[in-house]
Structure 1
Amino acid sequence: MQTKTKIKLDEITIKRTDRFPGRPTIIFLHDSLGCIELWRGFPEKIGELTKCNILVYDRQGYGKSCAFSYSKRDYYYMEQEADLLNELLDFWQLDKAILFGHSDGGSIALITAGKYPNKIRGVITEGAHIFVEDITINGIEEAIKLYKTTNLKTKLEKYHGSKTDEMFWAWASTWTTDEFRNWNIEGFLPKITCPSLIIQGEEDEYGTLKQVENIITQTNGQSTQLVIPNVKHTPHKEVPELILQKASEFINGLNE
């Protein structure tokens, strides 16, 4: 499926650091409720450890980017985001980018590497999904409960402002439909030829280790898994030093 970019490039917010001429650029792809600010200083730390340039952006509907240009999220929205990323790579004139994606961002990274393998040098994912599981739905239903009964909405409004409700329900409503239960991106995995580091917390509340196993066994590039005990869905926040170490080792190894 080839899609057209639905937004203008000036409608997304970008944070870019080019401190290391001639070195690769690492692109960070946020999760389903994330944005540039919620990465904190993590991208910069990896950039320093690897002497790579970094680029982080808010997808449409998130953070400081514009509101969604559609009323209902498409079943193929992550593939559409991968197609947009491909166009952004051309616009930014980036060749052989390294993708670091968390959750939805991880899935988008995998799709991009599968659809546009010649443009991607390496992929790191955290808590990426390639299909929907019961634990995924249960985790989202718990998030919906928290959104309705706790200050979760207020916390998210700090980063997403007036777009918060639309952003949250675009995720929660889409993933809990009967139609989306059949969503699956495993078809892209055999087309991935670059090395990948697949990270997941052993206690991830949104996916089982079957996600990692299927990614590792189906990609054609050299894939390495990092499963972390006593960690949930956000390893780079729960065990940041470990992720910085393993991610930087992986990235530095791409040059060997």
Structure 2
Amino acid sequence: MSIQYEDLMLSISDGVEIHALHGRHPEGGGRPTLVFLHEALGHIRMWKQFPEQLAERCGCDLLIYERQGYGGSTPIELPRSNDYLLVEGEYYLAKVTEAAAIDQMILIGHSDGGSIALLGAACLGDRVRGLITEAAHINADELTLAGVRQAVDTYRNTDLHQRLERYHGDRTELLFRAWTETWLRESFHQNIDLSPWLSQIRCPALIMQGRDDQYGLPQQVEDICQGIGEHAQAAFIEECGHIPHLERPDAVLDLMVPFIRELID
């Protein structure tokens, strides 16, 4: 294995500690770091082998971290604020990467992490060399809300709680509520609109979504690309749902690797 890992607890100025995994590739010096931003119920281990596979093929360092409330990071309390995505993209992403001594980065975000990546790319300017999103959302469409409602039913009536507990332990219920109660709160889903930030994104962007994503309409991808402009490209993964990097990893790597290589070569 060529990537060497360091397990970190990053102290943020407001007293929050963020758990992160920093991987260094022998060829990574001088290249932007791949920064992975997880979904609404995410965890470092839930990325599986995908970050390492991508970093190996691109010859880049990587950083995966757990946002406040997740994994080994400082807990959160409910209710979650309506502007939590903006706080993560505008404030915490900058603080976490600064604490990890990362200047230049390529953001790779999934679902909530994709939305945070969009905001981060808009707010961090030249520090972001490239942007990749999977299943990002800039608003709450009817499919998003139907998917969240279905997730609540699944959580209450299947073993989903137990499966999530393997990652989140005694935080499982709190994190599930933080996701579902926030998105189903009218003051949140009737007002969320990240489109004003898109025109501030100057870096190349690869905007991806599974063709069968159960949490977002294809219009999300189209609207994101239109908002960013000509340096954004859309990619739909066939026979794929909400988690392309796990459901169709080879197809996703085939798209991400050349996109990243063009940025760093």
CA distance in 2, matches of 1:140, 1:243: 25
Q: In structure 2, what is the Cα distance between the partners aligned to 1:113 and 1:143?
A: 29
Does the 8 Å contact 1:37/1:63 carry over to 2? Answer: no
Structure 1: which 4+ aligned runs deviate by more than 4 Å?
Answer: none
TM-score, normalization by structure 2: 0.91
Kindly provide the amino acid, as one letter, of the partner of residue 87 in structure 2. Q
> Is 2:257 the partner of 1:248?
yes
Write out per-residue CA displacement over residues 100-124 of structure 1, whole angstroms, 9 at most, x where no aligned residue. 0000000000001111222101010
Partner of 1:178: 186
TM-score (norm 1): 0.94
2:31/2:104 contact within 8 Å kept: no
Q: Is the 8 A contact 1:200 1:235 kept in 2?
A: yes
- How far is 1:21 from its partner? 2.0
Measure how far apart 1:228 and its partner are: 1.6
Q: Which of 55, 60, 65 is residue 52 of structure 1 equivalent to?
A: 60
Letter in 1 for 2:213: D
In structure 2, give the amino acid aligned to 1:189.
L
Q: 1:25 to 1:196 in 2, by over 3 A?
A: same
In 2, are the aligned partners of 1:191 and 1:220 still within 8 Å (CA)? Answer: no
One-letter code aligned to 1:76: D
SS in 1 for 2:133: strand
Pairwise CA RMSD: 1.4
1:209 aligned onto 2:209: no
Q: 1:80 to 1:6 in 2, by over 3 A?
A: farther
Matched, 1:228 2:234: no
1:126 to 123, 129, 134: 134
Q: Name which of structure 1's ranges 85-94 and 30-39 shifts more when overlaid on structure 2.
A: 85-94
Aligned-partner Cα distance in 2 for 1:145–1:246: 34
Aligned to 2:144: 136
Q: Deviations over 1:234-254 (max 9, x none)?
A: 011110011112111110011
State how 1:56-135 maps to structure 2 within 5 Å: 56-68=64-76, 70-82=77-89, 83-135=91-143
Please list the CA deviations of residues 173-211 of structure 1 after superposition, one character each: whole Å capped at 9, or x if unmatched.
000111112211001000000000000011111111110
- Asked if 1:13 is matched to 2:22, the reply is no
* Unaligned ranges ≥5, structure 1: none
Contact map agreement 1:64 1:160 (CA 8 A) in 2:
no
Partner of 2:3: none
Answer whether contact 1:36 1:58 (CA < 8 A) is retained.
yes
Q: State whether residues 134 and 209 of structure 2, in contact with CA within 8 Å, keep that contact through their aligned partners in structure 1.
A: yes
Deviation of 1:74 after TM superposition, in Å, equals 0.5
| Structure 2: 5+ residue stretches without partners | 1-11
- Specify whether residues 221 and 98 from structure 1 end up closer, same or farther in structure 2 by C-alpha distance, changes over 3 A only: farther
2:38 aligned with 1:30: yes
Quote the residue 1:192 is aligned against. Answer: 201
